[in-house]
Structure 1
Amino acid sequence: MATTDDSFNGMTEHCPDCDLETLHEVSVQIRTESLKKENAQFSREPYRVAECQRCGNRSSQRMNNA
């Protein structure tokens, strides 16, 4: 779970590679999931992306599971 602290970005969470609570840069990306060009406009989904600022490990999680 992400927590806030007095860091510049303020987001710390557990990094499985570092095995520590580290500063993470967190963003939301809209990704197209369909490979078919005619369906691409209907297959965009939001993903939460977190990158560890210590080791560079990057993880993403789909936010809409409908």
Structure 2
Amino acid sequence: MATTDNSVNGMTEHCEDCELDTLHEVSVQIRTESRKEENAQFSREPYRVAECQRCGNRTSQRMNNA
């Protein structure tokens, strides 16, 4: 589970690579999932992206699984 800390831009989360709770930079990205150009405008989905500030490991998770 993520917790906020005293940093300006980050959250403390468990890093699978470090095997520790480390500072992560967390953002939301809108990604296009369709490779077909005519459907691209209808296939944008939000993803939660977290990057460990210690080792650089980056994970992403789709936010809505409709």
TM beyond 0.5? yes
Looking at structure 1, the residues matched to 38 and 5 of structure 2 have their Cα atoms a distance apart, in angstroms, of 45
Matched AA of 1:46: P
Q: What SS is found at the alignment partner of 1:61? A: strand
1:6 maps to 6
1:36 maps to 36
Q: What SS is found at the alignment partner of 2:55? A: coil
The ranges of structure 1 where at least 4 consecutive aligned residues each deviate by more than 4 angstroms after the TM superposition are none
Matched AA of 1:42: F
- Aligned pair count reads 66
TM-score, length-normalised on structure 2? 0.95
Instruction: Please state how far the C-alpha of 1:32 moved relative to its aligned partner.
Output: 0.3
The Cα RMSD (Å) is 0.9
Range with bigger deviation, 39-48 or 9-18:
9-18
Matched, 1:52 2:49: no
Looking at structure 1, the residues matched to 46 and 28 of structure 2 have their Cα atoms a distance apart, in angstroms, of 6
Matched AA of 1:21: D
- Unaligned 5+ runs, structure 2: none
TM-score, length-normalised on structure 1? 0.95
Percent identity between matched residues is 88
